[in-house]
Amino acid sequence: MLEIKNVNKKYKNKDVLNNINFNIPKNNIVALLGLNGAGKTTLLNIIMGLLKSDSGSLNFNFDKKLVGIVFQENTFDEELSVYDNIFIRARLYKIGKDEIKKRIDEYNKLFGMDDFLYKKFKYCSGGQKRIGVIVRALIINPKLIILDEPTTALDIVTRKMVWNVLKKLNREKNLTILFTSHYIEECEIANYLVILKSGKIIYKGSYNELISKYSNKSLVVEFSNNYKKVEVNNIKDAINYLISLDTSRINTFKLDNSSLEDIFLKLNNAYINI
């Protein structure tokens, strides 16, 4: 779908992106991860055409006009209804009026927009505004949609609904999705991950490969007023660790494989052993 090849970007002689190379496979869901300052937003801005790289290339294998974009900020006209904002966006792409109405009806059913579709944008809740912005990106029937923190500030129910719809579109309409998120657990829906650190890629590949390569077992021991979390290699090590503690103070314990969040923190040298 998209090849990102040898992309570099500097600000004031500081490397913000350093030799970025990866492909966005067709019909995949790709998560771009990294701590603040890792270079995610800069890379997205280059992909979206808002910023030029110092060197390197982007090779799109489809019409670049068929890229839907969801920015972190809401970009609707506050005085217009959600419907009118979406309609005007579609008309800019020279989509016929009847076809626009048909598509809006389709997304209205998917996202449950009856309560706010004809409401002025400024009177919508944060969740309603976010859904409107996502639908505006989808109304052109994009081949690729880029979402920068799409579910920030959404409640858990709305967040799950949004991702269920996006996964449905990926599955049934072959929509390729590239997104960033501060909710690490959301990235488990991705089948391809790219992790940035200080402008460099420190991991790229499938979710399953990441778990297989970096996952350890985590032992969580709960006491009356605190808890400990440690990584162990196997069950025997977990038992030996438990024996080394004052067992009379242990309320419960649990042995799990490392979560995606654990692995992400470890790769960024931010793993905290509590």
Blockwise average pLDDT, block size 10, the chain, 274 residues:
95 93 94 91 93 95 91 90 96 96 97 96 94 96 94 88 96 95 85 93 90 83 87 86 87 85 81 43
Q: Kindly report the CA angle at 97 between 162 and 133, in degrees rounded to 5? A: 25
* pLDDT for position 211: 82
* pLDDT for position 136: 96
* pLDDT for position 42: 94
Q: CA 76 → CA 61, 86, 135, 152, 219, distances in Å?
A: 29, 9, 12, 17, 47
**Assigned CATH class of 2-210:** alpha beta
* pLDDT for position 271: 46
* pLDDT for position 166: 96
Which strand (E) or helix (H) includes residue 161?
helix 156-173
Domain ranges of the chain: 2-210, 216-257
Residues 6+ apart with CB under 8 A from 88: 80
175, two tokens:
């929509």
* pLDDT for position 176: 96
Q: Is the dihedral of CA 57, 61, 64, 70 positive or negative?
A: negative
**pTM for this entry:** 0.84
